[in-house]
Structure 1
Amino acid sequence: MRMTRARLARAVIAVAVAALTGCTSGSGGDASPPSAAGDGAACPEAFADAKAAVAAAEGTMVPWTGPTTGPTAPTGKTVVFIAQTMTNPGVAGVAKGAVEAAHAAGWDLHLIDGQGSTAGIQSAFTHALALDPDGIVIGGFDPNVALLQLREANARGVPVVGWHAVGSPGPSENPKLFTNVTTQVADVARISAQWIISHSGGTAGVVIVTDASIPFAKHKSELIGAALRECRGVRILSIEDIPIPEGNTRTPRHVSSLIERFGDAWTHSVAINDLYFADAAPALRKAGKEGGGPPYNIGAGDGDPVAFDRIRGRQYEAATVPEPLLAQGWQVIDELNRAIGKQPSSGFVPPVHLTTTANVGAATYWEPDNDYRNRYMAIWGR
């Protein structure tokens, strides 16, 4: 049945290459140490490219490049959003947008939390199938961890749309997804590395934080490392593998160890998800590090409201490469509607953006086009 306003409110509140050569936590960098100049002298070409790319990505006037046509949405459909874990604010942001969009379409959306474990995700997927849905969204996990359930959905003809489920946007044959919604991971990785090169003047000691259990995240961190190595003045000090569901307990320990090992040589960090910096802040504060000083931290995804608050307040995060999370929630519903209507996916890939202390303003999410809701509703005939 269609969501009531009360149910909607409760749901919204609930959501409120291999350049690293196998390095893991504790590995030393293989680049030359940073020079003292900090003026780009260590890598003039990479530094110039980085400055130009950063300036372009910080722009806030972004024209709509998403879909303008598509099938009318039938009413009364039931869809399920399976979240990897609702403690991941990126997943929660997309879920929030999907709840809003499903309500606008006149659909019933069930939100199931996989609790961040393989067993939990498999159970959530089994539950989703038991609801006999018209479509399923995979929110932020590798579909292969629930391959039997995915194959059952495929066999039944239930369309499955991913968000950050595989390494690239668009349809996927193996695993079989109608489409995968994401920015281009290579673009996100590259601009986060370029921000460090530009911000540091080409002389940085960098820690990369990843979750190697998620292929999408692992690939992103590999691309970040490759882009950082384009500047010989940047040294990768360590690659810290911290599973996202364990971030709140493990990140503070890793941070304390990093401070002890590298001291002031640690000037910048880049993480595959902003949430690590919420967990890092207490350890950095305890070590006497100022919120607006080094190590300067950038999140290579996902740009949740708390990350925006940290950037705005200069509290242990200086920049993020945000996904348009709410808009992507609307996009996953639009993609399911296209699948239900037997039409191809939209092919829409949002452009990358940088949110920094210079342009964050009062924003809580990256909203490249404030009219996207009306655009989608016009497509659906609402």
Structure 2
Amino acid sequence: MKCTLLALACAGMPLVATAAGPPVSLAPGAEPVASNRLASGSLAEAQRVLDAAAKPAAAWNGPRTGPPAQPGKHIAVVGEDLRNGGILGVAQGVREAAKVIGWNVSVFDCGGTVSGRRKALADALAKSPDGLLLIGPDARAIRAGLLPYEGRGVPIVGWHVAPTAGPVAGTPVAMNVSTDPLEVARVTALAAIVQSKGRAGVVVFTDTSLELPKTKANAMADVVRACPGCTLLEIVDVPISKNPEMMPRTTRDLLARHGTRWTHALAINDIYFDYAAPVLTQAGLANDAISMLSAGDGSAAAFLRIKAGTFQSATVAEPLNLHGWQLVDEMNRLLARQPVTGFVFPVHLVTPANIDTDGGDRLMYDPANGYRDIYKRIWQRG
């Protein structure tokens, strides 16, 4: 299959980079070729995709009916790393919704480590919860730790725990709540291509220890590869949990290696830019010298950078608080012995032009579509 500019992914392009290693995945040719090789129609179509993604939140198209609240439940929440703004935002949404539905919630932090995941799952199980919500850990990687929950009949719902939304095959996770990660990746990469008029020099940051980040990074890289005038300079593997210690040096090394050829940074999470942006400032770069675009999650820090025009120009923000409410609703359905909805919320691109809408004034993407009242009516808790 031949890749085109708007392709989501092409086969046979695995991620094997390391942060300290040489360029891993280069587009053909050492330098970007003339931008006129990219058909104007392709750029126009890419712009239409971006315009659709940047629109204000549409009217609610999710569930409107379901079981009433199953009150008095104790729910364990296991977060991959609460230092991550996306994971913290979802956890806060869960707490908000749980208060409405009448549940007690205990939160356990994995700290982004293997040992931390084992401990968090064991500590949560010791509380004998009625349900388990996973926020961020890879469901297949922690499958052994989930089996005791399955053995006790404890329902499990996750957020960003697999590369696609829906049930996670081979695990007890009944529903993975997420936007479409391939669409998130496509919109992010297309935004860089349109910004550069088809001449972007791109570095992609990912975490190859987790399947979802690998999926998004591969998809972004393939869209860049399909742009004839763009150059995929490098795919860089920095574990999300090791951003504070690794990203400053990694950013300096990339500047030394690529210089002005590096025009756009794409990352699977805003947290990478928390530690890259200060290095770019220290290096004396103008705020628009390198444009940063994130394929998730829409952290408060990312909103501040976009508002200030400090390197970051866009984030494909997850509706973190809404997803917290959806997690609670999906769990409530399981506790009522009803099926999950499988609802997938549309992708949204946050830019300087729309950042003050749909919660942007509060430094978050919180769709103004009345989802809280709708869920309250479903649970009959309004």
Give the counterpart of 1:245 among 241, 244, 254: 241
Indicate the residue corresponding to 1:347 in structure 2: 342
* Residues in 1 aligned to 2:57 and 2:141: alpha-carbon distance in whole angstroms: 39
**What do residues 82-102 of structure 1 show as CA deviations (whole Å, max 9, x unaligned)?**
000101111000000001110
Give the counterpart of 1:67 among 59, 63, 67: 63
Give the counterpart of 2:280 among 280, 284, 294: 284
* Residues in 2 aligned to 1:149 and 1:311: alpha-carbon distance in whole angstroms: 39
**What do residues 268-291 of structure 1 show as CA deviations (whole Å, max 9, x unaligned)?**
010000011011011101111122
Indicate the residue corresponding to 2:372 in structure 1: 373
What is the deviation of 1:236? Answer: 0.6
Give the counterpart of 2:224 among 215, 221, 228: 228
* Residues in 2 aligned to 1:122 and 1:136: alpha-carbon distance in whole angstroms: 14
Retained in 1: the 8 A contact 2:58–2:369? Answer: no
Q: Percent identity?
A: 38
Give the counterpart of 1:56 among 52, 57, 61: 52
User: Unpaired runs of 5+ in structure 2?
Assistant: 1-9
Partner SS state of residue 107, structure 2: strand
Retained in 2: the 8 A contact 1:83–1:138? Answer: yes
Find out whether 1:31 has 2:32 as its counterpart. no
What is the deviation of 1:42? Answer: 2.5
Indicate the residue corresponding to 2:312 in structure 1: 317
* Residues in 2 aligned to 1:118 and 1:229: alpha-carbon distance in whole angstroms: 34
Retained in 2: the 8 A contact 1:19–1:225? Answer: no
Retained in 2: the 8 A contact 1:118–1:145? Answer: no
**What do residues 118-152 of structure 1 show as CA deviations (whole Å, max 9, x unaligned)?**
11011100111111111101110112333222011
What is the deviation of 1:22? Answer: 3.7
Indicate the residue corresponding to 1:336 in structure 2: 331
Which deviates more from structure 2 when the two are superposed, residues 17-26 or residues 41-50?
17-26
Partner SS state of residue 69, structure 1: coil
* Residues in 1 aligned to 2:16 and 2:120: alpha-carbon distance in whole angstroms: 33
What is the deviation of 1:227? Answer: 1.4
1:67-86 aligned within 5 A: 67-86=63-82
**Structure 1 pair 21/149, CA: closer, same or farther in 2 (3 Å)?**
closer
**Which AA in structure 1 matches 2:374?**
R
**What do residues 166-209 of structure 1 show as CA deviations (whole Å, max 9, x unaligned)?**
11111123122110000011100110111011111000100000
Give the counterpart of 1:118 among 100, 114, 119: 114
What is the deviation of 1:316? Answer: 2.1
Retained in 1: the 8 A contact 2:15–2:208? Answer: no
Q: Number of matched residues?
A: 363
Partner SS state of residue 318, structure 1: strand
What is the deviation of 1:234? Answer: 1.2
What is the deviation of 1:45? Answer: 4.1
* Residues in 2 aligned to 1:109 and 1:289: alpha-carbon distance in whole angstroms: 45
* Residues in 2 aligned to 1:289 and 1:191: alpha-carbon distance in whole angstroms: 26
User: Unpaired runs of 5+ in structure 1?
Assistant: 1-16
* Residues in 1 aligned to 2:145 and 2:16: alpha-carbon distance in whole angstroms: 33
**Structure 1 pair 54/371, CA: closer, same or farther in 2 (3 Å)?**
same
**What do residues 292-339 of structure 1 show as CA deviations (whole Å, max 9, x unaligned)?**
x12100010000111111111112211000000000000000010011
Partner SS state of residue 297, structure 1: strand
Give the counterpart of 2:85 among 86, 89, 94: 89
Indicate the residue corresponding to 2:321 in structure 1: 326
What is the deviation of 1:19? Answer: 5.4
Retained in 2: the 8 A contact 1:30–1:236? Answer: yes
What is the deviation of 1:34? Answer: 2.3
What is the deviation of 1:49? Answer: 2.0
* Residues in 1 aligned to 2:315 and 2:307: alpha-carbon distance in whole angstroms: 11
**Structure 1 pair 20/255, CA: closer, same or farther in 2 (3 Å)?**
farther
TM-score, length-scaled by structure 1: 0.92
Give the counterpart of 1:102 among 76, 82, 98: 98
Find out whether 1:152 has 2:152 as its counterpart. no
**Which AA in structure 1 matches 2:327?**
V
* Residues in 2 aligned to 1:133 and 1:204: alpha-carbon distance in whole angstroms: 49
Indicate the residue corresponding to 2:354 in structure 1: 359
* Residues in 1 aligned to 2:282 and 2:34: alpha-carbon distance in whole angstroms: 28
Find out whether 1:215 has 2:215 as its counterpart. no
Q: Compute the RMSD of aligned alpha carbons.
A: 1.4
* Residues in 2 aligned to 1:335 and 1:22: alpha-carbon distance in whole angstroms: 33
Find out whether 1:256 has 2:252 as its counterpart. yes
Partner SS state of residue 171, structure 1: coil
Partner SS state of residue 348, structure 2: coil
Partner SS state of residue 70, structure 2: coil
**Structure 1 pair 45/155, CA: closer, same or farther in 2 (3 Å)?**
farther
Partner SS state of residue 157, structure 1: coil
**Which AA in structure 2 matches 1:31?**
P
Which deviates more from structure 2 when the two are superposed, residues 356-365 or residues 236-245?
356-365
**What do residues 242-286 of structure 1 show as CA deviations (whole Å, max 9, x unaligned)?**
001110110010110011011110000100000110110111011
What is the deviation of 1:41? Answer: 4.3
Give the counterpart of 1:133 among 106, 116, 129: 129
What is the deviation of 1:36? Answer: 5.2
What is the deviation of 1:63? Answer: 1.6
Which deviates more from structure 2 when the two are superposed, residues 128-137 or residues 17-26?
17-26
